[in-house]
Structure 1
């Protein structure tokens, strides 16, 4: 902090009303400025895979980085720090001093809608990747905002669900990444979650915010609420939650001023919160450089290359029988099949969504690198909501809510979907307006089509003057648009190819949901069926190799709602079966933000998990398929055989999705591989699994001591040699098992890892150090970490199931560290 700024003196000069005004955003993205005292505003922007800026969709373009699960799958904190530095540059291009990222909630379930936005099921891996991200971002002068504090591990009833979790589980799993970020990376801001934790909303949670985050961990930065997530004027201020977002205020303002004057909130608590807001503004350099720059886009070749490299580094080669990958140069005809073959699946949905500078499709990526003949067919659908029309939509706006009067503004949007977050157009009240959208569409194919409406606001759609879809009188709150929108309304109509349609959509903003977030979406699509499957099968027979691009998209992997199951939607599984039967040289490229069931896995020789690799999607995937880059990823989440194998899917609704407004973390510390290993459930692919294009030899590992006392560290080293003909990387993973314990502990837990990049014939030593905490469990009664005397097994491997060596060490006597 710049010592030239005297924050206590500045607080003294502020009236109570002015101090309180600092504790709520001025609008959706900026803090409050107080010109009379020279206090500037600062701007925040959504992340984590890009810096979107102040317009929710359709704003200035920005670089789109791989989704967090892809970054977590790199197991490479140093590389992720490079991404953080680049994201700092992107944030500054949008005039923002803080990026709302990273997301470090854990993969408790495979169905979480924001699984893609989180790094891993494992707290240690999540924490290490997050620290790399934070260090890189903050080295570029932009504050990281780690989120969501804490236990926002599902999107079911996300605004109100009560996560019931014991303290040991909190400490050993869900709080670990936040603790590491505070203590090791110096994160500057923390965002609280929507949900309750053991009864209290996260933004009002004094035991977690005031006592743990600030008291025990020493965090002196800013705590902000998630958007519209503050519920209690008094409790949030006394808990030390500094900044209510967005503005204008809902819980503070005059209500907080009155609470102070009536003695219900101590004035010193408000002063402390205001002081941290001022400190945050100062740390971002805004006092020295006041003013928020205009948003702009910048297409950088260096940034494109980094995103491409990150995409390949996160790709996980799940299976490669007969070394079908990389593709042989003899493959002169390639059948490119699937709903994602000619669509760039670059990111998940929700607040992570950005207007990407590029969207490179797999076909574009392959065509740029090979002169093979490419045959293409979609074969099946992938969507969750009926696809929108990618053509201009003209909209006229009214100052009334019933389309009366003359239009007060007009705009044209590039598709049949538009979201307004906080601001519509100048002079239009986002809470009270109406609009009429028009577009003309000519179907390309005969047949039955789906026509749909989804809206945050009331809508109805007409075709050639006939009302066809109504979400006006019958509008009710559903799961779309962060739960601010209605559920999709769909009708079926037989349409003729070449016959133009004039489509009109009427919109009115007021609903029972009192937030300034409005949206309308018209979908129109011919669903794919048997004809499309047969076409794909025919092309597969004609090709040397069939590449099937299947998976999910940003509607399934999306903030606001979980997935209903682990199955691939529509006919994608049937598509793989048909193509594999037609061509034994079938390679599947999966793009999902979470594991899915793979009923055809034994009938295809190779499977590559590409996640959502950012704007250079097609280039990164082609690099891996053609061998220009190694598939550098290792699974950061256990891949179950079936949904029933997941700990949250054991038939107890209290555990998931929740019951009576509560979700009980009854499994305790046994999630992911901890559950599979301890309960002896075989995964489809183990945590940490990932193949490459070369081979590695592991020498016998060494440990620097076999007996150690509390406070001493244990260091394990192992020499790895690349014995293959290609450059590659190996991830050395170290798991710790407590042989005897008075509490039930997982069979093993990841406590250290190292990623080695080796040329052919090159050797390197992985050195892994374990402190006392690596051997400890949390004792809630004693309020600290207990490492029990006795024997521990140190297991080294390439995954949680591919273990190469085991060492025994003994802790000579009990150790205890207070929380």
Structure 2
């Protein structure tokens, strides 16, 4: 079947078949109705790469830059190219629909999933999301705009009630979705976990039907976030089409049939929901991707690498460059120091993580660039759980561990072997693990491996799990996480506290270890977490040298003394920025602050490279001559960083969110956690730069800020209103000596005569990224619809309002540009409007 008539199929479906379609049948697939040749549609995460159908043993995939990094390119044509590459990745994973992009608001620096979103600014978020969606859907793959709406913090995310004004909801949090739907019309929208004004979004008729469908005229499919449905009737009546994942938590087939037969749920509502699902199936058929297509990693090509490298390099933001210490010369005597130097920090934690084709660290990138390996010191460790033992293990001379899967517990006579395989990790996320020979989520892993020490050293070994586990070393029980479990912490799901014990080893000494793991149903503790109670659980076994950070710092200081310049790589990691929890503060994790202070004492020529998805505190900024922000920048991040550090690529990234001096300075500081199940968005419409400008508080670095190795000049601004658009034309010239790119940023200033509502001093409304040779001058134009350039939301009238009066135009290379061009235009008649 290449296509079908939706209404005809709908008329032939039995009630039981309709009920099956209203939820996924497993973690990633819609239900298939074989009687009518209705195939299953495959969904796949996500924001940083298309994973396919598995967390555990997933097929390798391309790892893209994080959302905040992509927005920092300010290059919408490039984002559209990346969307096309995401679609190509989806084809290789047999996926019809990608669960992304994310366009929530980074309303503060502490959000656990802040790196997944694009920006603090709703307009930038909306046009970035639209560009990626256009790219994805131009290739026949469906995109999913998420998480609708106000999923802007992780604290108690399933129950948190977001309290905010109608203006803030409309002007800041709904606006990115509105713009993306207007410009790109995605096939799917995913509802958020949280409540808004007392009602879960997944059962909010106001949000899912009145605004999304009726006001905006969107006619795609709405799906829940995973385990984000909290009712049967309310979610169906409100407009939620698809419950995810399956087997359903709320829309259990018998319960739903009973609700229909007892007229608790109207059959017309069921038909509306099913029709939207069938329309998605119809679209998927046009993609020519077959049901249950095999997954491969054959898109690991030079072309994929080149585009990801280009995107990563354009995202990098040069924050400081005193005395032109950058770009580096190949002849510079450098030392590379820091916990983020040799470990690629490609993505944040949670569902954004992918099994990458490969990962290039900053150290790798620099080594590739200069053709040799520079001296290196770790400086300190920022890992929460030490190092994955599976990455260091071997079994019979081959890397990794051997895993045997059984139906029955160890010691059971004639155990049923399900499968046997080798695996290179002991960080096992098994929520979606299944096998055709298993009829439940109860199973057992017998894991065997060896570890050889390359030095005389004491090691800490840690084990924790969602399930039960026993770790044996050389035949002796070493860690028991079964007999007396205690509850610990997990970003997703739940976990035991586990145990950490020390082992002493000589150089070249080898130990043999065995782990007996029972899946989540064997967990001896009670957990209410739905992810934890609906899958196979998890296991983490980690190892770390028993060495203090002070010893590491001492080694780094000695190395720094020998170098002309120190590339000091700091930041966060997926351990610290992740789905499931928010950061407690903005400070660099663990001993990085001490490391920086000690290096400064012996060498002032520091190039500080920060890798994090969102800002960190930099109290040493005045003492450090160069600061480069590299985000979580995908699998080519190390090569891209080396390209910028050595000047093969001119820095052109701009901050997609303001960088406060202190966490206390950011407008969400007092309101970024659950307060007995509620959070008040007290900053209202004054998010990010809107707040800093309104209260005259300077951030460390402003929204839109970023330096270049060359210089640009703007002049000749012409502002006019034509055909319902604000059209701004200007000249831009490269007045430096190097090729480079500049981002022309448009901000609109509301009329000074406005007295009805308090408005930001100015708002971002558009951009153009321009590439210029030395001495080259071009004319560029930015056009934006007047409705989106000038409006605020009139709560009394429940419509968007454009006031008459004189508006200002501010055009510069950042939101705080000192040499910005200023123009004006006049709106003669006020206007009220709604819709898109």
Range class of TM-score, shorter chain? over 0.9
Q: Please give the per-residue CA displacement for 1:540-569, whole angstroms capped at 9, x wherever unaligned.
A: 221222111111111112111111111111
Q: Please give the per-residue CA displacement for 1:78-131, whole angstroms capped at 9, x wherever unaligned.
A: 000010101111100000011111011110121111111111110000111111
Q: In the alignment, which residue of structure 1 is the partner of 2:317?
A: 316
Relative distance call for 1:401 and 1:153 in structure 2 (3 A) is: farther
Alignment partners' CA distance in 1, 2:473 and 2:148? 47
Q: State yes or no: 1:732 paired with 2:744.
A: yes
Tell me if the contact between 1:452 and 1:488 (Cα under 8 Å) persists in the aligned partners.
no
Partner-residue secondary structure (3-state), 1:421: coil
Deviation of the 1:773 alpha carbon: 3.1
Deviation of the 1:189 alpha carbon: 0.5
Which residue of the other structure, out of 698, 708, 721, is the alignment partner of 1:682?
A: 698
Tell me if the contact between 1:641 and 1:684 (Cα under 8 Å) persists in the aligned partners.
yes
Alignment of structure 1 residues 753-792 onto 2, 5 Å: 753-770=767-784, 771-792=786-807
| Residue range with higher mean Cα deviation, 116-125 or 349-358 | 349-358
Alignment partners' CA distance in 1, 2:485 and 2:404? 22
Deviation of the 1:430 alpha carbon: 5.0
Tell me if the contact between 1:566 and 1:595 (Cα under 8 Å) persists in the aligned partners.
yes
| Residue range with higher mean Cα deviation, 298-307 or 729-738 | 729-738
Which residue of the other structure, out of 580, 592, 595, is the alignment partner of 1:560?
A: 580
Q: In the alignment, which residue of structure 2 is the partner of 1:129?
A: 128
Q: In the alignment, which residue of structure 1 is the partner of 2:449?
A: 439
Alignment partners' CA distance in 2, 1:473 and 1:160? 33
Relative distance call for 1:290 and 1:358 in structure 2 (3 A) is: closer
Which residue of the other structure, out of 665, 680, 689, is the alignment partner of 1:673?
A: 689
Partner-residue secondary structure (3-state), 1:647: coil
Q: In the alignment, which residue of structure 1 is the partner of 2:500?
A: 491
Instruction: Structure 1: give runs of 5+ residues left out of the alignment.
Output: none
Relative distance call for 1:275 and 1:638 in structure 2 (3 A) is: same
Relative distance call for 1:492 and 1:571 in structure 2 (3 A) is: farther
Q: In the alignment, which residue of structure 2 is the partner of 1:78?
A: 77
Q: In the alignment, which residue of structure 2 is the partner of 1:801?
A: 816
| Residue range with higher mean Cα deviation, 488-497 or 76-85 | 488-497
Q: In the alignment, which residue of structure 1 is the partner of 2:432?
A: 422
Relative distance call for 1:602 and 1:469 in structure 2 (3 A) is: farther
Relative distance call for 1:619 and 1:217 in structure 2 (3 A) is: same
Which residue of the other structure, out of 725, 728, 735, is the alignment partner of 1:723?
A: 735
Q: State yes or no: 1:274 paired with 2:274.
A: yes
Alignment partners' CA distance in 1, 2:90 and 2:318? 32
Alignment of structure 1 residues 334-413 onto 2, 5 Å: 334-371=334-371, 374-389=374-389, 390=391, 391=393, 392-400=400-408, 404-405=412-413, 406=415, 408-409=417-418, 410-413=420-423
Tell me if the contact between 1:396 and 1:407 (Cα under 8 Å) persists in the aligned partners.
no
Alignment partners' CA distance in 2, 1:249 and 1:772? 42
Relative distance call for 1:791 and 1:644 in structure 2 (3 A) is: same
Deviation of the 1:474 alpha carbon: 5.1
Relative distance call for 1:454 and 1:672 in structure 2 (3 A) is: farther
Tell me if the contact between 1:159 and 1:229 (Cα under 8 Å) persists in the aligned partners.
yes
Alignment partners' CA distance in 2, 1:403 and 1:227? 36
Q: Please give the per-residue CA displacement for 1:411-448, whole angstroms capped at 9, x wherever unaligned.
A: 33212211113224442345322333333323445555
Tell me if the contact between 2:42 and 2:95 (Cα under 8 Å) persists in the aligned partners.
yes
Partner-residue secondary structure (3-state), 2:769: strand
Alignment partners' CA distance in 1, 2:441 and 2:678? 32
Alignment partners' CA distance in 2, 1:478 and 1:536? 33
Partner-residue secondary structure (3-state), 1:554: coil
TM-score, structure 1 length as denominator? 0.95
Relative distance call for 1:522 and 1:811 in structure 2 (3 A) is: same
Partner-residue secondary structure (3-state), 2:537: strand
Q: Please give the per-residue CA displacement for 1:731-753, whole angstroms capped at 9, x wherever unaligned.
A: 11122222223111122211122
Alignment partners' CA distance in 1, 2:692 and 2:455? 48
Alignment of structure 1 residues 182-193 onto 2, 5 Å: 182-193=181-192
Q: State yes or no: 1:588 paired with 2:608.
A: yes
Deviation of the 1:700 alpha carbon: 4.0
Q: In the alignment, which residue of structure 2 is the partner of 1:621?
A: 641
Deviation of the 1:276 alpha carbon: 0.9
Deviation of the 1:471 alpha carbon: 4.2
Deviation of the 1:136 alpha carbon: 0.5
Alignment partners' CA distance in 1, 2:790 and 2:175? 14
Partner-residue secondary structure (3-state), 1:285: helix
Q: In the alignment, which residue of structure 1 is the partner of 2:617?
A: 597
Relative distance call for 1:176 and 1:693 in structure 2 (3 A) is: same
Alignment partners' CA distance in 2, 1:529 and 1:682? 34
Partner-residue secondary structure (3-state), 1:532: helix
Relative distance call for 1:689 and 1:274 in structure 2 (3 A) is: same
Tell me if the contact between 1:643 and 1:649 (Cα under 8 Å) persists in the aligned partners.
yes
Relative distance call for 1:592 and 1:528 in structure 2 (3 A) is: farther
Alignment partners' CA distance in 2, 1:772 and 1:500? 69
Deviation of the 1:179 alpha carbon: 1.0
Relative distance call for 1:395 and 1:601 in structure 2 (3 A) is: same
Q: Please give the per-residue CA displacement for 1:192-226, whole angstroms capped at 9, x wherever unaligned.
A: 11111222222111110011111111111111111
Tell me if the contact between 2:110 and 2:582 (Cα under 8 Å) persists in the aligned partners.
yes
Q: In the alignment, which residue of structure 1 is the partner of 2:304?
A: 303
Deviation of the 1:64 alpha carbon: 1.3
| Residue range with higher mean Cα deviation, 365-374 or 62-71 | 365-374
Tell me if the contact between 2:487 and 2:497 (Cα under 8 Å) persists in the aligned partners.
no
Q: State yes or no: 1:661 paired with 2:660.
A: no
Deviation of the 1:393 alpha carbon: 2.7
Relative distance call for 1:165 and 1:463 in structure 2 (3 A) is: farther
Q: State yes or no: 1:816 paired with 2:832.
A: yes
Alignment partners' CA distance in 2, 1:818 and 1:412? 58
Q: Please give the per-residue CA displacement for 1:492-544, whole angstroms capped at 9, x wherever unaligned.
A: 52523434444343333214342115210011112542221121112122122
Relative distance call for 1:463 and 1:664 in structure 2 (3 A) is: farther
Q: In the alignment, which residue of structure 2 is the partner of 1:612?
A: 632
Q: State yes or no: 1:514 paired with 2:528.
A: no
Which 4+ runs in 1 deviate beyond 6 A? none
Relative distance call for 1:751 and 1:353 in structure 2 (3 A) is: same
Q: State the superposition RMSD in angstroms.
A: 2.2
Tell me if the contact between 2:96 and 2:289 (Cα under 8 Å) persists in the aligned partners.
no
Partner-residue secondary structure (3-state), 1:564: coil
Alignment partners' CA distance in 2, 1:676 and 1:542? 42
Alignment partners' CA distance in 1, 2:437 and 2:584? 41
Alignment partners' CA distance in 2, 1:786 and 1:128? 21
Tell me if the contact between 1:281 and 1:287 (Cα under 8 Å) persists in the aligned partners.
no
Alignment partners' CA distance in 2, 1:58 and 1:289? 22
TM-score, structure 2 length as denominator? 0.93
Alignment of structure 1 residues 78-227 onto 2, 5 Å: 78-227=77-226
Partner-residue secondary structure (3-state), 1:154: coil
Partner-residue secondary structure (3-state), 1:284: helix
Instruction: Structure 2: give runs of 5+ residues left out of the alignment.
Output: 394-399
Q: Please give the per-residue CA displacement for 1:673-714, whole angstroms capped at 9, x wherever unaligned.
A: 111111222101110000111110111422126xx9xx8433
Relative distance call for 1:741 and 1:461 in structure 2 (3 A) is: farther
Alignment partners' CA distance in 2, 1:573 and 1:150? 36
Q: Please give the per-residue CA displacement for 1:333-357, whole angstroms capped at 9, x wherever unaligned.
A: 2211111222211112211111111
> How many aligned residue pairs are there?
808
Q: State yes or no: 1:537 paired with 2:557.
A: yes
Partner-residue secondary structure (3-state), 2:387: coil
Q: State yes or no: 1:702 paired with 2:718.
A: yes
